[in-house]
């Protein structure tokens, strides 16, 4: 979806190859949910900026495609296939990462189930919030380099608006609560921040913009377009980057101004 003139056209990162946000080439970024949407855009943009990428996802096929794409442009990538809410996957994934790239300076906790799935509440919170905590604690135990940083993909849901799915709003607010805890009590090890995407054009929202509910939201977004996966990825990468060295504990809405119209 393209933007209107003067309404914040989405950046085309493929033409922005001089942008590196101050990252050191060869540093490692781990991103979960990397096979699709926002996580995939984080992985691709990070690789373009010279970072090594550890890409984790449930979906083996799309993850392999991502790895091929990064490899074809000379980037370095390793993949972990599995569920980030599963203890063994996380333990084994970090062991593999240690053997390949060593500790990752940057962690993007991005994976999470779609709000459209009718999950049982307790189980949904375990998956959505528990996975972020498990990934973060395991990552922190690897012996982090100076300047380490973590960003969680939360949502406007639960943090700035209440949405229909009870577990989704509750989980996204809980993830941000955990981020605030980390920012306050673990800042000696790493910085922690949250990005809150608004309505974002990823496979999970395919067709939604054309629905009545989607049109209603679009009509209230001052920038008059959905966010792109790159819009979210670049905000995540900024918060991870050295440019954000003094940013700790914030929730950054990336929603085209939607929530200020609520």
Ligand X SMILES: NC(=O)c1ccc[n+]([C@@H]2O[C@H](COP(=O)([O-])OP(=O)(O)OC[C@H]3O[C@@H](n4cnc5c(N)ncnc54)[C@H](O)[C@@H]3O)[C@@H](O)[C@H]2O)c1
For 232, phi then psi, to 5°, come to -70, -45
Q: Are 198 and 259 in contact (CB under 8 A)?
A: yes
192 binds ligand X (CB under 6 A): no
Which pair of structure tokens corresponds to residue 63?
């993850």
Stretch that binds ligand X, among 54-62, 96-104, 141-149, 209-217 (CB under 6 A): 54-62
Cα(103)–Cα(28) distance, integer angstroms: 7
Candidate segments 158-166, 197-205, 212-220, 235-243, binder of ligand X by CB under 6 A: 197-205
Kindly report the number of other CB atoms within 10 A of residue 164's CB atom.
Answer: 10
Query: Could you say which of 10, 75, 93, 112 contacts ligand X (CB under 6 A)?
Result: 112
By CB under 6 A, residue 10 contacts ligand X? no
Q: How far apart are CA 43 and CA 37, in angstroms?
A: 10
Active site residue 208: no
Among 168, 178, 208, 246, the active-site one is 168
Residue 127's alpha-carbon distances to 68, 155, 172, 180, 182, in angstroms, are 29, 16, 11, 19, 19
Site string for ligand X, 149-168 (x = CB under 6 A): ----x-x-------------
Residue numbers annotated as active site: 168
Name the site residues for ligand X (rule: CB under 6 A): 32-33, 35-39, 57-59, 83-85, 110-114, 127, 131, 153, 155, 197, 199-200, 202-205
């Amino acid at each position: 979806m393209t933007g209107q003139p003067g309404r914040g056209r989405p950046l085309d990162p493929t033409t922005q190859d001089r942008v590196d946000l101050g990252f050191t080439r060869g540093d490692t970024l781990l991103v979960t949910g990397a096979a699709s949407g926002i996580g995939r855009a984080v992985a691709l943009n990070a690789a373009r900026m010279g970072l090594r990428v550890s890409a984790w996802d449930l979906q083996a096929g799309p993850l392999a495609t991502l790895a091929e794409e990064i490899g074809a442009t000379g980037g370095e990538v390793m993949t972990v296939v599995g569920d980030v809410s599963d203890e063994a996957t996380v333990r084994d994934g970090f062991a593999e990462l240690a053997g390949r790239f060593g500790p990752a300076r940057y962690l993007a906790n991005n994976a999470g189930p779609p709000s459209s799935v009718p999950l049982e509440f307790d189980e949904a919170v375990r998956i959505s919030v528990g996975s972020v905590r498990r990934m973060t604690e395991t990552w922190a135990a690897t012996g982090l380099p100076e300047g380490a940083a973590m960003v969680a993909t939360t949502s406007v849901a639960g943090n700035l608006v209440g949405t229909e799915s009870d577990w989704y709003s509750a989980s996204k607010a809980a993830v941000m609560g955990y981020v605030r805890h980390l920012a306050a009590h673990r800042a000696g090890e790493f910085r922690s921040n949250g990005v809150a995407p608004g309505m974002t054009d990823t496979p999970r929202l395919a067709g939604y913009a054309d629905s009545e509910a989607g049109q209603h939201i679009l009509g209230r977004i001052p920038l008059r377009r959905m966010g792109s996966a790159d819009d979210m990825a670049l905000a995540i990468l900024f918060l991870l980057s050295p440019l954000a060295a003094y940013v700790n504990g914030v929730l950054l809405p990336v929603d085209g101004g939607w929530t200020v119209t609520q």
